[in-house]
Amino acid sequence: MVAKRWGCEHGGRETRMRCAIYARVSTDRQGESVDHQVSLLREFAKRRGQDWEVLEHLVFEDEGVSATKVSIWTRPAMKRLMEAAERSEVDVVLFKGISRLARNTQEALDVLDRLRARGLRVLSYEESYDSAKENSNFMFTMHAAIAEYEAEKIGVRVRLGNKEKAKSGRWVGGTPPDGYYVGRDGHLVPDDARAGLIRSIFERYALDGSSCAAIARELNARGETTSTGNGFSQTAVARILDNEVYAGHLVYNRRTDRTVRDYDSEVPGKKKERRMPNVRTEWVVVHCAHPPLVTPDLVQMAQMRRGRVRSQAPRTTHLLTGVLSCGRCRAPLIAQVKRTAKRVYRYYVCRTYHQAGRQACAQGSVPADDLESYVLTRLSERLREVSINVLAPALQSACAQGEEQAKRERERINRQLTRLTDAWIAAQVDDVLAGQAASIRGRIARLTAERDALYKRLTQAGLHRHKRAQEIYARLVDLAQDEPAMKRYWVQMLISSLVVHDRTLLIQYTFSSSDDTPIDGNV
């Protein structure tokens, strides 16, 4: 394309070309400043001829902006450059290298297409790229792919370097945990001004039996704050109790933060961080990496109690989770909750759509309350249509599966009890383990109670199995009014799958033929 000119001609002499400069430097690349890039490109434009002019208001700088983590369309300077291009204030766009423009091939090509669509000429100094040349698109694509590959290599080198640093016991996780600061050698050093507060949290939880919420209220009442100056919350206390760092141990690479495109955002190309758990073999664990703030026994007691609280805490399980799937891509539909100042809104959404956006799957979300009510109504209607003799075999099969699951759980508990009993015996004769004897005895008592409950459940299951069919028939009228746990029990037992395709729901029962019905007007 021919770049637009501005002004008018005098005696055949062409008017000047208005050149815009785009410069960017990320926080992890301090050796290449934006000033250096701008100076280099000014000189580059000057060598192109006297008619190439860089105007001050056409210098756009994104400083401290990572190209891998921040979308090109959300960068402040890039947005101003695009706005200037739309106002026809620019004829040529210059940048030092394609890596300064973008570290993602798709983003780089999108920017190039938008600039060229407005008649602008685009030049890159390092790659000698000029959009006015023949076959320039191929060269640009190749160099953009190389820039993306280089970014990936840099990321790998940084991660490997951090792992080696962590193996030596040095802190790599950014902001140090409350109660520590990072010393000159990179190791964590106890902060005497905060150490007493951290110890008191462990003592109140592990020894006095206070809850995380109660401890947070006590600390706030005393005017205590976290290391960032905020008040304590239940979550903040729980994170302290769950952190092995206070026993002197360092655990690194437990999770990986990955930058992905946010397809659900209204902002084009917006990116978001997704935290992914790593397998244990990739963790870096260093014992006695720094001085502990709390004795290892006290930390272990707190974490064992935390484990019991989590296992006993009631879980909010959505009614259709596990049986509801997408008819377009076959992925499960997952429950999501949105809270506003006025209401709490639940809905089921295709997992593919949730993770990758509408381009990957176009199945829309479905209001959870309406869909659950509709499914329970259809289930009740179908149950009324079949005889008790048809229902009984399905119930017997479901009960048998439940009993097998209970037996496996009982075997798992027995294995745990064997290991804990051996540990308790060892604690009686080992001074190092003596402090753990009480907590081990508590775990043995809890597991024994769980095992006894399973024995009772298995014993009664065979005695009452023949009553299940009559029980369901007696509950048919009140099925929608039943307790949430019982509703889910009936759904899991009597429905093998639910498939949503656009506005149609396919219900596959365990005791009858499938039910393919439109949900418009009902959901």
Helix (H, G, I), strand (E, B) or coil at 440: helix
26 in catalytic set: yes
Structure token digits, residue 307: 């484990």
End-to-end CA distance of the chain: 53
**Is 54:19 a contact under the CB 8 Å cutoff?**
yes
Q: Which long-range contacts (CB under 8 A, 24 or more apart) does 313-320 make?
A: 317/484, 317/488, 318/346, 318/348, 318/368, 319/368, 319/372, 319/375, 319/484, 319/487, 319/488, 319/491, 320/348, 320/368, 320/371, 320/372, 320/375, 320/491, 320/498
Q: State the catalytic residue, choosing from 26, 66, 71, 99.
A: 26
What's the CA gap between 226 and 413, in Å, rounded?
A: 39
The three-point CA angle 30-33-37 to 5° equals 145
Q: Which position has the token pair 């602008």? A: 120
Q: For the beta carbon of residue 387, count every other beta carbon within 10 angstroms.
A: 8
Q: What does the longest C-alpha to C-alpha distance in the chain come to?
A: 107
Backbone dihedral angles phi then psi of residue 421, each to the nearest 5 degrees: -65, -45
- Among 326, 147, 358, residue whose Cα is nearest residue 261: 358
**Is 323:496 a contact under the CB 8 Å cutoff?**
yes
Structure token digits, residue 361: 């799957």
The catalytic residues are 26
